[in-house]
A and B are shown apart, each in its own frame.
Chain A
Amino acid sequence: MNAKNPATNPDAPMAAARRPLEGIRVLDLTWALAGPYCTLHLALLGAEVIKIESITSLDAMRRGDYALDGDLERSPTFNSVGLHKLGLRLNLKQSAAVALVKALAEISDVLVENFRPGVVQRLGLGYEELRRSNPTIVFASSSAFGSSGPLRRYPGYASVFSASGGLGHITGYEDGPPVEIRDSIDLRVGATLAYAILTALYHRRNTGTGQTIDLSSMEAIVALSGHTTLAHVLTGETARRRGNRDDAMAPHGVYRCRGEDAWISIAVATDREFRALCGAMGRPDLARDARFADAYRRLRHAEELDEAVDGWTRNHTPHAVMRLLQKSGVAAVPAFNSKELVYDMHLQARGAWRNVDHPRMGQRRVQGLSWRTVGAATQVSMPAPTLGQHNDFILREVLGVPTDEVHRLDAGGVFE
């Protein structure tokens, strides 16, 4: 570990148990969603994550409709993915700022960046440059298309790499155009990068060597649905949009319920589940119907089944259908919207929601990591940093820059 300057962050909560990445310092040169979601994992696991940003190239999540009333210090999404990070405000267009980043990189364990390929090298912050003073650094780069190949400099955002990786084309109704998957695209790329970094740190601990990581968002999308291209190579068939239909199950859909925009997902695999569904619907005739006698025939008559199920669910609320069907072992769960998730009794019972006190937005619900560990719960107590919130701490305590030098740099616009 590079704990050359083991300073204690003043805002850090008292942790009950040592967290897995305690003592690891991460220099975070990412912005928007994918990169910050990666470093969020590292921060919640106990790493000291230093996020570098500047008013001159503000994080996209602090701008536009992402910020409440256009106020850069009141961005919900920035807060969601910025928890437990330290904020260092530096204008990288100034060479003195780049020198400070270099000094930080020397005493960091991990650097994460999602500039377009070539930009960090131009800034003088490339791996070859940094490894001379810090040979064991883990240097992780994430981009739309990776650092090699003809598209390496082509810009792309979530919808672009989802479309490029084949997932976009498969998402949608059978009779409609491709539709967008909101939210999870960037975040799954961030989770992929976090896994790569954790295993690189594990490798470094065992061998003492650092390395680079090159992540292509498009390739992450392909790998996270890898059977689809393999099945194509195997059979020549090309997957297409199927709405909610399945290759093996029917009924298999999201059905309208009583209430505004209220829906329930139902899937039936076995004869037993089908009989239970028919019983709950009060339709024993369907259970006896030859058209629906086994899974194969149900699949061939999926449309008739959908009509029958829809005719029943629309008279009941999603929760009533869930309770009734789950009682007889049929998979039925509402399509929850974000409000229902926040109030969902299961997520509440599992402690999925924590509160942080944001200086400008007040007490807000946030989530931590998606998994649970016994006896080593990750605490979530620190909101995302305000712009430059931790400049003093990092410059003086971590880097040991003398006060008069800090003033001189400030006057020169290094901390813009």
Chain B
Amino acid sequence: MSSDPVAGVTPGPLDGIRVVEYGGDVSGPFCGRTLADLGADVVKVEPLDGDPARHHGPFPGDRPDGEHSGLYLFLNANKLGVTLDVTGACGRQVLKQLVAQADVFIDSYPSSSPTAPGLDYAALIDDNPGLIVTSLSPFGLTGPYRDYACYDINVSAAGGMSYGTGFPDREPLSLPLRQSSYLAGFAAALASAMALLARGETGKGQVVEVSETEVSAVLLNGYHLPTYIYKGVPGRRWGNRMSLGLFPNCVLPASDGHICIDTPQLEQYQRFLQLLGDQPWSENPRYRNRRAMTEEYPEESEALIAPWFRERTKADIFELCRQNRVPCVPVKTIDEVVNEPHLRQRGYWQERQQPGIGELTYPGPPYRFPRSPWRLARPAPRLGQHNGEVYCGRLGFSPGELTRLHQAGVV
């Protein structure tokens, strides 16, 4: 086991589960991270030139450095890291040895990628019958598009997310912040947890296959898909509004940014009207039908309340709305999120020393379990940081063998 100190003493729910992750960028690594956060022991295998996420800026001081990418550092915390060239027979053999000891193998390099290991999943499970192989790819392992080239923006488009995001008279927008890949990685972690539960019953592992675009398509089940399947009308873009809602449910400008208001319950809306003070329009029948206001004449309706927001700051609006229990919040910029008092009081942020950088503040857990805690035990590995520990300590290579692999360009 690792010699690094582990922060918590209470075991996580996935303590003792060994994961080998062979994946770059967002989806596979986020799957690995999500398992590692709950105690799984994750060995990240990187190609010799590193995970592509290492090239993703912004960088401190605008100086690109593969060890200083926020994307890489976030997605790969809690893991051990080794390098391996799996394109040759020797490297592939080493990867097989690692996988033979694992409970879960995450593979997210598409078969078309030059760094794909091209492993036969069935053979891996033959050698290690309890093994769960979690495969992530843009379109899955079967079907006519399976070998299509695809980046995050294409996943967002192919999964139907883009078409519904943006203004109706402008181009569809891909989800920002690599959301389609994050969502796919999270679905893969969920599928892996399912397979671990299933293995408890039978002792048998299995291949779990995640199509990144289908993960997005399934998430359209709130509005876009049902509206076509049951009404024959494809969902459309609604700009700064929510479909199927009641007025007001939109984003509006404040004096120093934007706010977002959504008051589905009548009492919430009435409290909001009281906040606005005496508004003669609110007695006009045209402005008493909240559904028509949002679907038939939204600009006209929003113009009635827009001045109230425009002449106030986000903070003043929020304070008034909070006191009056009206769901209306600032659309927070990222620095505002980081300084959000509620998150601070909940102890959300996790401060950790980052070698070579200093203290860094990481986002905390999306869920809290008192008896099997989420943990942030170690920073993301430097390129090849744990080669010795993993290859010698776990696979039993001698220092001489490791040197030879190194000289042969395998690690």
Contacts and interface: CB of A to CB of B under 8 A. Distances in A.
B312 interface: no
Most buried by B among A330, A338, A371: A371
Contact of A334 (B158, B166, B348, B357): B158
B343 interface: yes
A375 B325 CA distance: 50
A331 B149 contact: yes
A105 B315 CA distance: 42
Nearest to B71: A227
B184 to A, nearest CB: 8
Contact of B251 (A45, A178, A203, A224): A178
Interface string B184-208: 0011111101111110111000111
Given A230-B74, A337-B234, A187 B222 contact: yes
A62 B126 CA distance: 48
A188 B187 CA distance: 9
A82 B336 CA distance: 37
A92 to B, nearest CB: 18
A18 interface: yes
B301 interface: no
B210 A371 contact: yes
A324 interface: no
A329 to B, nearest CB: 5
Contacts of B340: 164
B211 A350 contact: yes
A165 B260 CA distance: 12
Interface string B144-188: 110011111110111111111111001111111111001100111
B242 interface: yes
A158 B226 CA distance: 18
B92 to A, nearest CB: 23
Given A171-B165, A182-B224, A224 B260 contact: no
A346 B338 contact: no
Contacts of A195: 34, 186, 189-190, 193, 367
A58 interface: no
Contacts of A8: none
14 contacts: A21-B197, A154-B325, A169-B334, A180-B239, A180-B251, A181-B161, A181-B165, A182-B238, A184-B216, A232-B70, A254-B173, A263-B172, A273-B149, A336-B157
B362 A196 contact: no
A367 B346 contact: no
Contacts of A346: 139, 143-145
Nearest to B322: A154
Given A159-B262, A231-B71, A372-B209, 11 more contacts: A80-B226, A158-B262, A200-B372, A213-B368, A234-B360, A267-B151, A326-B149, A330-B149, A333-B150, A352-B217, A367-B221
A265 B162 contact: yes
Contacts, number: 504
Given A195-B34, A228-B177, A373-B208, A254 B226 contact: no
B81 interface: no
A265 B154 contact: yes
A169 B231 CA distance: 32
Interface in A151-178: 151, 154-160, 162-173, 176-178
B252 to A, nearest CB: 8
A330 B148 CA distance: 8
Contact of A196 (B260, B346, B367): B367
A357 interface: no
B50 interface: no
A88 interface: no
A230 B70 contact: yes
B258 interface: yes
Given A188-B219, A202-B200, A205-B200, A169 B332 contact: yes
Given A150-B341, A364-B230, A247 B56 contact: yes
A12 interface: no
A273 B151 CA distance: 12
Contact of A219 (B34, B325, B343): B343
Nearest to B344: A149
B227 interface: yes
A160 B173 contact: no
A365 B220 CA distance: 13
A228 B177 CA distance: 7
Contacts of B230: 68, 76, 361, 364
Contacts of A198: 190, 193-194, 197
Interface stretch (B57-65, B276-284, B393-401, B402-410): B57-65
B222 A148 contact: no
B214 to A, nearest CB: 5
Contacts of A345: 144
Contacts of A176: 167, 170
A126 interface: no
A42 B402 CA distance: 46
A256 B171 CA distance: 7
A331 B220 contact: no
Contacts of B140: 350, 372
Contacts of A230: 70, 73-74, 360-363
Nearest to A206: B13
A77 interface: yes
Contacts of A41: 190
A294 interface: no
A349 to B, nearest CB: 4
B224 A155 contact: no
Given A171-B173, A234-B60, A178 B331 contact: yes
B190 A166 contact: no
B157 A335 contact: yes
B116 interface: no
Contacts of B14: 199, 202
Interface string B261-274: 01010001000000
B38 A199 contact: yes
A403 interface: no
Interface stretch (A237-245, A283-291, A408-416): A237-245
B235 to A, nearest CB: 5
Interface in B113-144: 139-140, 142-144
A235 B197 contact: no
A371 B373 CA distance: 27
B170 to A, nearest CB: 7
Contacts of B234: 337-340
Interface in A1-51: 18-21, 33, 37, 41, 45
Q: Lowest 9 CB-CB distances: which A-B pairs, in order?
A: A231-B70, A76-B226, A203-B13, A265-B157, A223-B366, A76-B230, A163-B260, A196-B367, A20-B198
A145 B342 contact: yes
Nearest to B367: A196
